[in-house]
Amino acid sequence: MAAAHSLADESTGALLTNPKGMVPSMIEAVARLFVTRFLQTYISCGCLLLLEEGGTRFTFEGDRSICPLKAVLRVHSHQFYWKVMTRADLGLADAYIDGDFSFTDKKDGILNLIMILIASSNVNSNITKMKKTRGWWAPVLFTAGISSAINFYKHYLRKNTLTNARRNISRHYDLSNELFALFLDETMQYSSAVFKNEDEDLKVAQLRKISILIEKARIDTKHEILEIGCGWGSFAIEVVKRTGCKYTGITLSEAQLEFAKKKVKDAGLQDHIRLLLCDYRQVPDTHKYDRIISCEMIEHVGHEFMEEFFGCCESLLAEDGILVLQFISLPDQRYDEIRLQSGFMREYIFPGGCLPSLNRITSAMTSASELCVEHLENIGNHYYKTLGCWRKNFMENQSKIVALGFDEKFVRTWEYYFEYCAAAFKSRTLRDYQIVFTRPGNVAAFGNPYQRVPSEVDHDHDIPVSDGETTEP
């Protein structure tokens, strides 16, 4: 064991060793050696410091001109190394959740660490070449192969069949309406907002996003609307108040349905709004809808069911109808690699989830429907700010969240979740698309060449907030 300790200190560039510090077991010493050697090779930009309890310090530094960020981790347990060695990126999340390490910078520590890892991955040519063909059987750390295979199998068992889809949705969205209310704004919108400036209120930015979706769908009084994934009902109420349309919304979350129905009743809009606990595959196709909206729900469909989703939209959409989707998207080049993994998000946040790539969306559209893309816009730049607002609200209400029955591990899990996603959007690894679909020949909706499809830049003004009066059809 002493030899292993000595080898670790020599080969990883430990700057300071305190003999009264943490004493790892033989296995933990091997794990520390392996992980620190790996990080020496992997960290090609930015700066990562590991500070152990007794004073031992490991420094990994790459090109600071590419990524000037620095992350300092305080390692409280040598289990940190074992978890990273055996579970790779999922092990890193496990170690944070379990309290095996923390950050000296409590505000931006997680964000900076993930940004450094993303930047290093992007500039490391060898890793980049591996990623083109790597699946669950070949993670970045080959020692994590067994756990990667197990996680892949677990994800396969969670694929979104009719039975699993409801179970997967319930595991996240049925946690507690009170929980979501503590970090979302009054609209209870759980998707990216669109901000006018850095200081704008989240509620105003969410209402702007709703306005953009309504305008892109060209909804008016005579239309019947279907929203796939109606959430807590805010879009339903806003679209009916603003246009007077007839609205049907579906969800698989019982908690969301209960909340949304009460909200609709309080608004006095029961005659205009119908809410159902229903899978998109079970909506009767005997009725056609003029407009279909789905905002960040298709991420819960799954790779295997993407064609079925578009086939259902095709059968439910009226002849001159419009489909508008908002969804988080992976880069096309990394889609096949990532969809075969069961990483942090699938393990802890969205079981059964699968972020599609743009190509996966359009290929499913082509093979399962007559739809085509009319307009596309990426609003992903706004997600970093949105996630920052959610994290701020979440952490400020931490004591209330614990009072609801959620423990400290849950709090750390969700803190990691918000920052993990924020880093992906800030680095422009993820995008958030709004796409307008229609069928060829839809002159009724798009025949006027002077009526453009609106975009985020067209909404650089105050958002009209409905006054509670409904436009009668």
Residue corresponding to tokens 């009072």: 403
String of DSSP letters for 145-180: HHHHHHHHHHHHHT---HHHHHHHHHHHHTS-HHHH
Question: CA-to-CA distance for 339 and 142, rounded, in angstroms?
Answer: 18
Given a contact cutoff of 8 angstroms between Cβ atoms, the answer to whether 70 and 40 are in contact is: no
Output the six-digit token pair for 153: 């199998």
Catalogue the active-site residues. 421
Question: CA-to-CA distance for 419 and 193, rounded, in angstroms?
Answer: 17
Sequence-distant (≥ 6) Cβ neighbours of residue 215 within 8 angstroms? 454
Sequence-distant (≥ 6) Cβ neighbours of residue 470 within 8 angstroms? 240, 241, 244, 269, 272
**Strands 47-52 vs 246-251: parallel, antiparallel or unpaired:** unpaired
| Length of the chain counted residue by residue | 473
Single-letter residue type at 172: H
**Strands 289-295 vs 224-228: parallel, antiparallel or unpaired:** parallel
In three-state secondary structure terms, 72 is strand
Given a contact cutoff of 8 angstroms between Cβ atoms, the answer to whether 280 and 308 are in contact is: no
Output the six-digit token pair for 96: 């944070």
Which residues, in sequence order, are bridge partners of residue 292?
226, 323
Comparing C-alpha atoms, which of 110, 44, 70 is closest to residue 423?
A: 110
